[in-house]
C-alpha cells in the first residue's frame, strides 16, 4: 500500500510538472503580448505551483510513513534531489510540448489522457522489473529511473536505477 502511495505521489508531481508550462502560458496569454517581463518567470512560477501542491501531498504521505514505521536513513537526504529531477524532467517535456499546444488546442486537452496512459507503463503501481514482457517499455521510459530511485530513497531501500537516474537528470537539466 505504501509503495503505491509513494509512487502515486511522485507520479502526480511529474504529471503536474508536465502540464504546468502549458497551463501557465495559456493563463498568461494576454500578459505575454502586452507586458514586457522575463518569460522565465512563468516557468519558475509553474515550478513553484507544482512544488506547493507536492508539499501538501507530502504532508499527507509523511504520517503514513511514520505509521508504517519506515526507517529514516541517510537516503532521505537524496529525496529532494529526486523530487527536483522529476520536476525538471516534467517541465522540460512540458516546454517541448508547449509550442504545439499553442498551435493545436488538442495537445493541451489530450495531455492529461496521455499522462494517465503513461502512468501504466511507468512502475508507479508495481515494481520495476528489468526482465520480462514489459521490461522494454520500463527501460525506455525516462520517468522510470527518476520515480523508482526517488521512491527507493523515500522508503529507505537501495536504488536500482541510480546510473539511469543520473543520466536522465543530466539530459533533462
pLDDT of residue 134: 67
pLDDT of residue 9: 93
C-alpha distances (whole Å) from 116 to each of 18, 53, 89, 112, 169 are 12, 18, 17, 6, 22
The H or E element that residue 85 is part of is: helix 79-103
- Alpha-carbon distance of 144 to 134, in angstroms, equals 12
Q: How many CB atoms lie within 10 A of CB 51?
A: 16
- The answer to whether 15 and 77 are in contact (CB under 8 A) is no
Q: Which of 130, 147, 148 is nearest to 139 (CA)?
A: 130
User: Which residue in this structure is represented by grid cell 536504488?
Assistant: 159
d(CA 99, CA 113): 19
For residues 131 and 138, what is the distance between their CA atoms, to the nearest angstrom? 9
Q: What is the pLDDT of residue 146?
A: 92
Per residue of the chain (173 residues), give pLDDT as tens: 888 899 999 999 999 999 988 888 877 767 767 777 777 788 888 899 999 999 999 999 999 888 988 888 888 899 999 999 999 999 999 988 888 877 777 777 788 888 888 888 888 788 777 666 667 777 788 888 899 999 999 988 888 888 889 998 999 88
pLDDT score for 160: 86
CB atoms within 10 A of CB 90: 26
Whole-angstrom distance, CA of residue 129 vs CA of residue 138? 8
Amino acid at each position: 500500500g505504501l509503495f503505491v502511495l509513494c509512487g502515486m505521489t511522485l507520479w502526480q508531481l511529474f504529471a503536474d510538472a508536465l502540464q504546468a508550462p502549458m497551463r501557465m502560458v495559456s493563463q498568461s496569454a494576454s500578459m505575454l503580448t502586452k507586458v514586457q517581463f522575463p518569460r522565465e518567470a512563468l516557468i519558475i512560477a509553474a515550478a513553484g505551483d507544482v512544488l506547493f501542491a507536492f508539499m501538501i501531498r507530502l504532508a499527507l504521505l509523511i504520517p503514513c510513513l511514520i505509521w508504517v514505521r519506515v526507517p529514516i536513513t541517510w537516503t532521505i537526504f537524496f529525496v529532494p534531489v529526486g523530487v527536483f529531477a522529476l520536476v525538471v524532467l516534467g517541465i522540460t517535456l512540458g516546454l517541448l510540448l508547449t509550442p504545439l499546444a499553442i498551435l493545436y488546442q488538442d495537445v493541451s486537452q489530450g495531455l492529461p489522457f496521455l499522462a494517465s496512459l503513461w502512468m501504466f507503463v511507468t512502475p508507479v503501481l508495481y515494481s520495476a522489473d528489468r526482465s520480462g514482457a514489459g521490461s522494454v517499455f520500463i527501460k525506455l521510459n525516462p520517468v522510470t529511473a527518476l520515480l523508482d530511485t526517488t521512491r527507493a530513497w523515500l522508503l529507505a531501500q537501495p536504488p536500482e536505477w541510480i546510473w539511469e537516474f543520473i543520466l536522465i537528470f543530466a539530459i533533462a537539466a
